[in-house]
Amino acid sequence: MTMKERLVMTFVLLVVVYTIVPWVATRIFAIGVYRKGKHAGNRIALTFDDGPDPAYTPMLLDLLKKHDAKATFFVLGSKAEKHPELIARMHREGHQIGIHNYRHQSNWFMSPWSVLRKQADRTAGIVASITGERPTYYRPPWGILNMLDLFLLKSYTVVLWSVMPKDWRSRIGSEKLKARMMERIKDGSVVLLHDSGETFGADRDAPAHMIAALDEVLAGMRQRGLAPVRVDELLENVPGRRLGFAKRTLVAVWMVWEKCFVALFRLKPVDSGNPLFKLRVREYQGKRAIELADGESIRKGDLVAELHLDNYTLFRLGLDSRSTVQLATQLIRRTRMLMPELCRLLLTDPQYRDVKGLYGITMIHRGSKQLGFTVVDLPEGLFASLTRTYLRILLYIIHPQGKERLKEKSELLEPKIVAISKNELKTRYIA
């Protein structure tokens, strides 16, 4: 390969890493960004990009007031400078103001420092000078981030969308736009709309059709019990919302791995309505037999139902836990509720007919003896070392204060084998 070819390949690789990788991470896997609300309680968020516009933004604000609806405006700093009275009105009427860059330019074609200082921070300063409140929510033009945006924009909450009716084209018309919104908007939706038609690719009169459609959509949403709120209100109950940007990104990446792990090893939930535990049948490979409290033993080659904690559920529980002990207490309570279902599954499902019992490895084993489990140390060796490292990494990622928890008493964080025989399950949990 010639030097020129190497340079071309290096350039192409850098372009891909700078542009395509963050696009896939954010737009497909929602890593480091928010696209919708969870546990929204019949709330949705209407968001409007590219304004303020002196012709259409006042009409839109009048419409929102008519329906007693709140919204979020991702504004351009250059337009906010020209129309401070519209920014002031948005703020006065209780709407949220976010940032959509100073000018409508793609982050792919700017250095990350330009995005931060000349686009986001500059616009935040302009809005703060008008309202007295500095915006902390950011949406990049066309939803496009570059690789370093994921790290440099850590002081902002990046919001994309879950519903895009494509309202920037006037040929769609208000009726078709209305039908799209009524069909796609549901609990937790973040809806992308535009109160200006001046940006590249948009039709100048498109917002008029959007406003006409939105009038009927807002009336229809009220009948369905959906309440339009600000983005910050929609996201207030999202798990992980109060975590730092880097930690949220790390959690999101791990959850993608979690989905891959579940699919790869074909884990099955114990209860589809309560995803705390998943199972798979496998042969026990330990060299040392596990002697259980009821006299049974699990030996190499025996079939076991391997128990796995659902890490997203664990993460959500960790958000509300002040300590690892409290997290363990919540897990014990939930596990106790699931034990009868676990027992019925092992006794009645043909795929578990030949298993000796339940088996798992966990660092959160405090109180498991109360439920009938035998708790034994992992045999020292490479497997124990790798397991210890893996589970500590897992705790760091999924626990909101994972770094602090790793500094607690080490005996509380030592992975152990927990196991219970099928006979013990039957004795304890079948009336």
Of 148, 120, 114, nearest to 135 (Cα)?
120
182 and 265 fall within a common domain: no
pLDDT digits (tens, 9 = 90+) for 297-334: 999 999 999 999 887 777 777 766 666 667 677 777 88
Whether 49 is catalytic is: yes
Helices (H) and strands (E) in the chain, counts: 17, 15
Helices 324-348 & 311-319 angle (0-180, nearest 10)? 150
- Catalytic position from the list 95, 100, 194, 308: 194
pLDDT digits (tens, 9 = 90+) for 29-43: 787 889 988 767 789
pLDDT score recorded for residue 416: 85
- DSSP-derived secondary structure for 377-409: EPPSSHHHHHHHHHHHHHHHHHSTTHHHHTTS-
281 inside domain = yes
In a domain? residue 239: no
What's at 98, amino acid-wise? G
Please give the Cα distance from 212 to 188 (Å, whole number): 23
Residue 395 and residue 309 share a domain: yes
- Three-state DSSP class for 353? coil
Tokens of 104: 């409508």
- Do residue 95 and residue 74 come from a single domain? yes
Q: Please indicate whether residue 39 is annotated as part of the active site.
A: no
Mean pLDDT value across residues 361-384:
81
Residue where a domain stops, chosen among 182, 204, 234: 234
The pLDDT of residue 314 is 77
Domain match, 290 and 411 both: yes
Domain contains 273: yes
DSSP single-letter state for residue 279: E
In this structure, are 190 and 264 located in the same domain?
no
**Mean pLDDT of all residues belonging to the chain:** 86
Q: Is the pLDDT of residue 21 over 80?
A: yes
* Same domain as 398, residue 318: yes
pLDDT at 89 over 70: yes
Residue 240 lies in a domain: no
DSSP readout, 209-227? HHHHHHHHHHHHHHHHT-E
Last residue of a domain, one of 176, 207, 234: 234
Residue 334 lies in a domain: yes
Same domain, 136 and 224: yes
CATH number at residue 90: 3.20.20.370
How far apart CA 400 and CA 421 sit, in angstroms, is: 34
Greatest CA separation for the chain = 81
Of 234, 266, 285, which residue is a domain's last? Answer: 234
pTM of the model: 0.67
> Do 375 and 399 share a domain, yes or no?
yes
Task: Look at residue 131 and tell me if it is in a domain.
Answer: yes
Task: Domain of residue 11: give its range.
Answer: 3-234
Measured CA to CA, the distance from residue 359 to residue 346 in angstroms comes to 12
Q: How many domains does the chain have?
A: 2
Find the range with the poorest average confidence among 329-333, 346-350, 357-361. 329-333
Average pLDDT over residues 185-204: 94
Regarding whether 269 and 157 lie in a shared domain, the answer is: no
215 in a domain, yes or no? yes
Over residues 230-237, the mean pLDDT reads 87
pLDDT band per the 50, 70, 90 thresholds, residue 411: very low
In this structure, the answer to whether residues 147 and 280 fall within a common structural domain is no
At residue 382, the pLDDT reads: 74
Q: Give the integer Cα–Cα distance in Å for 229 and 281.
A: 46
Same-domain check for residues 192 and 268: no
Residues 175 and 279 reside in one and the same domain = no
Cβ neighbours for 192, distance < 8 A, ≥ 6 positions apart: 47, 49, 161, 163, 164, 165
Domain assignment present for residue 132? The answer is yes
